[in-house]
A and B are shown apart, each in its own frame.
Chain A
Amino acid sequence: MATSTMQFKIYRYDPDKDAAPYMQDMSVEVDYSIDRKLLDILTRLKAKDDTLSYRRSCREGICGSDAMNINGKNGLACLTEIKDLKQPVVLRPLPGLPVIRDLIVDMTQFFKQYHSIKPYLINEGPRPERERLQSPEEREELNGLYECILCACCSTSCPSFWWNPDKFVGPAGLLNAYRFIADTRDQATNERLDDLEDPYRLFRCHTIMNCVDVCPKGLNPTRAIGKIKEMMVRRAI
């Protein structure tokens, strides 16, 4: 058994008892023959101290629950290899959103922006008896877009979103906006572009590309944003 102790510095805050947040030193025995991901270790830490609070569910990087700031970079605990982590591992909640408790943030603003782009297929035409047809090439346009898991790693790493979370849609919302614009079955392209043609909603993106750097699914919101801008230009000509 390859065991050793891992050191952590973890952001702690329970509004029921703490006047202010603080960083707590924690350590735990790790068994490298079983433990592989940061979430495995958080589970061990929580077994020792049940007050440590974080979200988690699928533990395989598809539900998007356990996003947090790990050694200064946003990521999913369940996909983060422990052997690559510099110690003490510093864990903080996602930046830029209000903290509810420990590593749990209030995601209301993030989802509000997602909802604002009308994240659903708009096609008011008569419903055909069978599926609407779409060629494999048309379907391929959705790759790299539909896989978003709404973990918020991207939007909460974006300085533009930090400054204007109420006005700037943010990378996750814009990636999803383009997912519907790019869908040949969707009929609302013009309305969608109108909605985004705004100094804040889209144009606060300054291609800093933090979003691309942190996306745990390897998606590229900056490219999607570029495509939306391109369509606006083409439409204006």
Chain B
Amino acid sequence: MSKLTIPVRKFDAVIVGAGGSGLRAAIQLSEAGLKTAVLSKVFPTRSHTVAAQGGVSASLGNSEEDHWHWHMYDTVKGSDWLGDQDAIEYMCRMAPEVVVELEHFGMPFDRTDEGKIYQRPFGGHMSNFGEKPVRRACAAADRTGHAMLHALYQRNVRANTQFFVEWMALDLIRDDSGQVLGVIALEMETGEVVAFHAKATVFATGGAGRIFYSSTNAFINTGDGLGMAARAGIALEDMEFWQFHPTGVAGAGVLITEGVRGEGGILRNASNERFMERYAPNAKDLASRDVVSRAMVTEINEGRGCGPNKDFVLLDITHLDPATIMKRLPGIREISIQFAGIDPIKAPIPVVPTCHYQMGGVPTNYKGQVVGDDGTPVSGFYAAGEVACASVHGANRLGTNSLLDLLVFGKSSGDSVIDDLKSGAIGLKELPSGYADRTLARLHRLNTQTGGSNVSETRLELQRTMQKHCGVFRFKDMLAEGVAKILDIEKAVARTEIKDKSQVWNTARVEALELDNLIEVAKATMVSAEARKESRGAHVRDDAPDTPANPNGRDDVNWHKHTLWHRDGNRLSYKPVIMKPLSVESIALKTRSY
């Protein structure tokens, strides 16, 4: 195998992924005149950023007083103090600038009567350090992600960015010193495998929500960046923290934005009770997502769910003015009609918590540089967006901070590439011998496997296992069992078989290669979750209950730290949370309530 060679293409920078963060990074690099390649499994406007609905946060204060410092406080609190405060300060301070910039790029934001960007309330967005809800989510109706992704793509058309559309990156190229030298990628149309040799590699590959059976995520969200990073010896951070969005359409999993509650929507149980008043007396339906999801599951578990199987709750906006719904929430009305068969103007929408977002990922600093276990940058390697863990979301992400993350860290990672090229910190090193061997061996194995396991069955088993063993509420014994089951499924993944051997647009091959990435994410998640013996943010387990010593089950003495999962040896290490912000005082640990 080692004698096989593949074509090599050379670039200053290669960006993997063309969703919000990849496109934002590409604007920096293209406008700086760097020779940049952007690889994407799908045409850029088909990336999953397109499905974001409710808004992008920034303390513009267009409708009422707001301040980035309040935004920072909310984000730290939302993260259950697991977020790094330097990165959180950076993101919240940068927010007004990057959102205004996006408006200048052509983003069709809704407007206030004064002509400014329209802002709506959202879960966990509060004024004056947690006092009362504030309008901070900048919105284009309930299609903010779509409008943003298209505006960013359009800006790239203007900047003449070079795209490689429908190319799937397979593996990271790293030399013995650990420097990253690009990626090996597969052109889907031809089956050709090519090395993209670059001074800088930016991962903007998005999340891996497809490890769960019930997910708001697109089919393409298979954690390709995480799989590539893990195989190349990069540890994955805080992978036990997965956000279950409170309002996925029951049965279909399709997202209904929190913006619905921002506009006045109310969650109700079988007896029509506004149950969030009992769980979050202050923020009510606009508490943080982990809090609302747990409340919903508790209602269902205690027999107060709706429907013949009492397995969902209702999201009610029938009391809103139909004109408001048509103007501010036209997309969710369409989705409700399409996927729930009901018109929300007339009847409430059946919803259940649904896997939505991965808080963990490839460890980075706030400049978008990937960092090793000791916090020093991995030379030539950058990451932004859902694949990255800066960490701004910690144990639970606030709604609309995901789109903000894409803009801020897409831009900062691009700027870091430019700075590191200028300073000479990175340059084009020679490709190490045999750099493509492992990838080609993997492809060869897949092409020649006989009597192997079926890709869609194995994937389904993985997804059902994650759903059952690592959901909204987690149980000690189930987690331990889950680890064993996932390691078993890994054996099946290692011997997947495809019937399709064509070189042309072989989607069976792509799905098998995606499964290679999903299994790495599933292992990282399950092993990290099993080990964390506390409840924090989205990770809540039965053996870490609410006690006076550990309110909400959070154990700061032993567990106020980031998890690092290492693929090699399937082992864990830990690193401290950065409590020191860049310019303001640290936001001290405190019990979280809404």
Interface of A with B (CB < 8 Å)?
14-17, 34, 36, 46-47, 49-51, 53-65, 79, 100-102, 104, 107, 111, 115, 118-121, 123, 127-136, 138-139, 142, 146-147, 149-150, 180, 183, 185-186
Chain B, Cβ-Cβ closest to A102: B505
Tell me the smallest distance from the CB of B105 to a CB of chain A, in Å.
7
Residues of the A chain whose Cβ atoms lie less than 8 Å from the Cβ of B504: 14-16, 100-101
Chain B residues with Cβ under 8 A from A111's Cβ? 43
Is B154 an interface residue, CB under 8 A from the partner? yes
Q: CA of A128 to CA of B112 in the docked complex: distance in angstroms?
A: 18
Residue from the set B106, B189, B331 with the largest chain A CB neighbour count within 10 Å:
B106
**A183 pairs with B106, CB closer than 8 A:** yes
Stretch from B272-280, B495-503, B565-573 contacting the other chain: B495-503
Known: A16-B504, A131-B117, A139-B108. A58 touches B48 (CB 8 A): yes
Interface centre among B45, B100, B189, B503 (most CB of A within 10 A): B45
Per-residue CB contact flags for chain B residues 420-440 toward chain A (1 = under 8 Å, else 0) read: 000000000000000000000
Given known contacts A16-B502, A57-B46, A135-B115, A62 and B154 CB-to-CB distance under 8 angstroms = no
Residue of B nearest to A111 (CB): B43
B338 touches A79 (CB 8 A): yes
Chain B 478-522 interface mask (CB, 8 Å, partner A; 1/0)? 000000000000000000001110111111100100000000000
Query: How far apart sit A62 and B335, CA to CA, in the bound complex (Å)?
Result: 10
- Binding site secondary structure of chain A: loop
Enumerate the 3 nearest inter-chain pairs by beta-carbon distance, A residue then B residue, closest first. Answer: A121-B106, A133-B115, A50-B508
Given A119-B154, A147-B146: A100 touches B100 (CB 8 Å cut-off): no
Which of B112, B113, B218, B498 sits near A50, CB closer than 8 Å?
B498
Give the Cβ gap from B350 to chain A, nearest Cβ, in Å.
Answer: 14
Query: Does B69 lie at the interface of the complex (its beta carbon under 8 Å from any beta carbon of A)?
Result: no
Contact flags B442-476 to A (C-beta < 8 A → 1, else 0): 00000000000011110000000000000000000
In contact, A58 and B505 (Cβ under 8 angstroms): no
Q: Are B502 and A14 in contact (CB under 8 A)?
A: yes
Q: Give a binary string over B40-52; 1 marks a CB under 8 Å from any A CB, 0 the rest.
A: 0011011110110
Could you tell me the distance in whole angstroms from the C-beta of A146 to the nearest C-beta in chain B? 5
Tell me whether B455 and A63 are in contact (CB under 8 A): no
How long is the Cα–Cα vector from A151 to B45 in the complex, in angstroms? 10
Q: In the assembled complex, how far is the CB of residue A172 from the closest CB belonging to chain B, in whole angstroms?
A: 12
Residues of B324-341 contacting chain A, CB below 8 A: 331, 334-335, 338-339
Output the residue of B110, B151, B505 with the most chain A CB within 10 A. Answer: B505
**Which of A17, A62, A120, A142 has the largest number of chain B CB atoms within 10 A?**
A62
Q: Which residues of B contact A138 (CB under 8 A)?
A: 111, 115
Inter-subunit contact B456/A59 (CB<8 Å): no
User: Is B108 a contact partner of A146 (Cβ separation < 8 A)?
Assistant: yes
B218 touches A58 (CB 8 A): yes
